[in-house]
Amino acid sequence: MKRTLWPGVVVLALTVAACGSATRQESTPTGSAAAAPASKLVVWDWKSGEPYAKTYIEKAKADFAKKHPNVTVEFVPQPFEQYYTLLGAAMQTKTGPDVMLFNGGGQIRDRADSLLPLDEYVAEDKSRLAGWEAFAKDGKTYGAPVTLQGHPIYYNKALYEKAGIAAPATTWDEFLANCDKLKKATGAACFALGNKEGIGPQFWLSGMGSGVLTPAEYDDWIAGKRDWKSPNVKKIFEMFKETGDKKLNNEGANSTAMFTDIFSVFNTGKAAHIIGLMSDIGHWKDFGEFIGPDKVGIMLAPTVTDGAMPSLPYDGGIGYAVAKWTKDPKAAADLVRSLTTTDALSSFSAEAGAIASDTTISAPQDAPVVGEIVAQLKAGKPALHVAMDSKTIDLMGRLSQKLLSGSATVDEAVEELAASDQEN
Amino acid sequence: MPTRNTSPAVRPEESGRAVEGGTKRERARHGAARRRGRSERFAPYVLIAPAVLIIVALRLYPLALGVNFSFTGDGDANGTAVGLANYLELLDDPLFQTALANVGLLVLLLPVAVAIPGLLATFIYLKVPGHRFFRSVYFFPAVLSPVIVGAIFNLMLSFDGPLNELLGTIGLGPVDWLGDPGVAKFAVVGVQIWATFGMALVVFLAGFATLDASLLDAARVDGASLRQSIWHVIIPSLSQTIQFVFVTTMIGMLTSMFGLLYVMTSGGPEGSTYLPEYYIWIQQGQMNRPALASAASTVLFLIMLVVGLLQISVLRRAGRED
């Protein structure tokens, strides 16, 4: 025993003085290093390695080279599954990249204290690009949006025709009636829901929320004043549970992965609706390839509450940010601007199948549903779940699985979410 | 005793010469001996120094840092001492409680994980028909990485997958293997056992190699059944091997299920398949809570320390029995 004890003693002795920190603290940079222009900027993302991003990256690099011919740029693509883990580790040691890609919302807000506010650099781009709110915290902008990400409710027009439904429902009751018709005529489930990772309720909350919350409640929610006691908030979760109770979802929703098993359920006509994405994956382009571009439709959330104004929920999707410790903030910010030029973004939009943040780019002709999405952008509002912190989102994922399996009631779930949301 | 009696006869002569002479050479020789004595005394320390330094610099120091971090805050409180706040938060977090409860479940399932390779090894030792074939087939999963195993079983166990189809043909309803919290944890542990029992099987077979065959023959002559031979001959003879497999299987279950969890359930459904290491990873990487993750790591370390010390004492006792 003696032999095994002494390391423990050492550990305890070192522990008593709880100093130091889990992430590295601020340190003042030495003068000369801070003043010298960076000769190289390192960019981390999960896009630049993809073939569809090649032209986009080339155009951005060319634009940047014109402004900073002496600065070389290195793009380091990382696997997305590991991205935030790797980035988190790099940020703690401050050896991370100068410029990095972020998902809008919680991911960038949680790390805002390591990022450089970009407001003074991107002022010119503010009106041309949409989706800034997802990259802002406490009034400061930390990233420039590249794409817009949103959660349209897609439906399969071919199944609708088979079931004899002329147009998508505008109320929840009508929608449920349509689900019945679709099931009888085509055998398809109403919703394709993949909730293995617990992402389902995020899409549900944002996809359906605008039909349930009043406009005032909606705006308050986004502004951070979330009234969890409101019957309308509870109603959104009741509707989610209803889809499980009434077997409106595909079978085995809790063990089907959202990324990317569930999309094939919609693609093969086994489900009539899916709350999908606008950019990157699980969107109009993917669906169009399987069920035909002209058979993909989008609908607004069915109205549940009188006075609700259904709208397209969307935010800045992905965007580039600059690390606080970069040696040449001006060059790094210019690189971010080069990555969001109209020219570069139109390439990305066309080749990657994304709704770009640049509002001056016109929609491609071969996908009519894109026109419908773009038409909804003006009236669209930020998605409800993006405004929440990642801890509450994570909790919501687990609770949603309980709602579907019946091991939690809506009241319990809303209460737990309220407690978590108000704590953060 | 005899040597002591003879030595005085020699010594007086030597000491006499030393007193007589007392030359520099003599003193130098004594000095060299002393030096040699000193260097011999230090030699072991010098020789183990590299190993100790590596352990201190690469193991104990980071460990101490990690424990230290666990008493500091996250985010805005980064770097400030927060006392036991992280540990209290852990105790309060139902997710971490689930993770610890699942560690308990693993310990309870340990006998099953040891019995399966033990039984199969017994059958192979008893030369059941096709034992050569089974010997290699059983080891095969052990060479697959957890990610590949997880991906295979994701397909097998998916709701519309082949296993449920098979159940359907014999009239049993589909089971949501990875979507039902009561089933998923057993499904994952089952896959872990499937993936790793090959290694334990090999250890058992090695143990059988030392088994005295005449004991089994004697039992057979006395008319012992298979069950009796296993219970009264094989298990007592293999007690050391069984204990060794217990220890290694335990360590394997507690430290190497991350890959399977990551691929198969992501900790779900309803957080029911969380283990401490998965919790640590989520807090560090997804929630941006490195200090909380440090606290969870410390708790996991303490659990492993206790388990490890218990196992060492079990192994020591087993060693003394012989």
Residues of chain B in contact with residue A14, where contact means CB-CB under 8 angstroms, are 64, 67-68
- Give the pairing type, strands A147-150 and A314-316: antiparallel
The reported pLDDT for the residue numbered A35 is 43
The reported pLDDT for the residue numbered A3 is 47
Contact A21 B79 (CB under 8 A): yes
What mean pLDDT is predicted for residues B125-133?
Answer: 89
The reported pLDDT for the residue numbered B6 is 42
Count of structural domains within chain A: 2
Backbone φ, ψ for residue A315 (5° rounding): -145, 180
Residue B3 pLDDT more than 50? no
> Which structural domain, as residue segments, surrounds residue A66?
40-148+315-369
**Within this chain, do residues A166 and A293 fall inside the same structural domain, yes or no?**
yes
Average pLDDT, chain B: 86
Residue A15 pLDDT more than 50? no
**Within this chain, do residues A308 and A352 fall inside the same structural domain, yes or no?**
no
Separation of alpha carbons A299 and A156, rounded Å: 11
How much of chain B is in helix, strand and coil states, percent to nearest 5? Answer: 80, 0, 20
**Within this chain, do residues B164 and B43 fall inside the same structural domain, yes or no?**
no
**Within this chain, do residues B138 and B260 fall inside the same structural domain, yes or no?**
yes
Note the pLDDT tens digit of each residue in B60-108: 999 999 999 999 998 778 888 999 999 999 999 999 999 999 999 998 9
The reported pLDDT for the residue numbered A32 is 41
Separation of alpha carbons B236 and B240, rounded Å: 9
Q: Tokens 């805002």 identify what position? A: A112
Q: Is A23 on the interface with B (CB under 8 A)?
A: yes
**Within this chain, do residues B229 and B272 fall inside the same structural domain, yes or no?**
yes
Query: Strand pairing partners for A314?
Result: A150
Q: Tokens 């004595």 identify what position? A: B37
Residues of chain B in contact with residue A17, where contact means CB-CB under 8 angstroms, are 68
Residue A124 pLDDT more than 60? yes
The reported pLDDT for the residue numbered A19 is 53
- Range from B58-72, B218-232, B295-309 that averages highest in pLDDT: B58-72
Where residue B287 sits, what CATH number does that domain have? 1.10.3720.10
**Within this chain, do residues A291 and A159 fall inside the same structural domain, yes or no?**
yes
Residue of B nearest to A407 (CA): B270
**Within this chain, do residues B250 and B159 fall inside the same structural domain, yes or no?**
yes
What mean pLDDT is predicted for residues A42-47?
Answer: 94
**Within this chain, do residues B194 and B280 fall inside the same structural domain, yes or no?**
yes
B80 in any annotated domain: no
**Within this chain, do residues B164 and B55 fall inside the same structural domain, yes or no?**
no
**Within this chain, do residues A50 and A141 fall inside the same structural domain, yes or no?**
yes
> Which structural domain, as residue segments, surrounds residue B190?
85-321
Average pLDDT, chain A: 88
**Within this chain, do residues A191 and A278 fall inside the same structural domain, yes or no?**
yes
Note the pLDDT tens digit of each residue in A295-348: 999 999 999 999 999 999 999 889 999 999 898 999 999 999 999 999 999 888
Q: Is A4 on the interface with B (CB under 8 A)?
A: yes
Note the pLDDT tens digit of each residue in A66-108: 999 999 999 999 998 889 889 988 888 888 899 999 998 878 9
Count of structural domains within chain B: 2
Cβ count near B235 (within 10 Å): 13
**Within this chain, do residues A406 and A257 fall inside the same structural domain, yes or no?**
yes
**Within this chain, do residues B52 and B172 fall inside the same structural domain, yes or no?**
no
Between CA A129 and CA A135, with CA A133 as vertex, the angle to 5 degrees is 90
ipTM of predicted complex: 0.76
Residue A263 pLDDT more than 90? yes
The reported pLDDT for the residue numbered A134 is 87
The reported pLDDT for the residue numbered A37 is 53
B77 in any annotated domain: no
**Within this chain, do residues A331 and A250 fall inside the same structural domain, yes or no?**
no
**Within this chain, do residues A223 and A78 fall inside the same structural domain, yes or no?**
no
Residues of chain A in contact with residue B312, where contact means CB-CB under 8 angstroms, are 4
Note the pLDDT tens digit of each residue in B6-50: 444 444 444 444 444 456 666 666 766 676 777 888 899 999 999
Residue of B nearest to A109 (CA): B288
The reported pLDDT for the residue numbered A10 is 45
What mean pLDDT is predicted for residues B219-225?
Answer: 90
- Range from A209-213, B158-162, B230-234 that averages highest in pLDDT: A209-213
Note the pLDDT tens digit of each residue in B144-188: 999 999 999 999 999 989 999 999 999 888 999 999 999 999 999
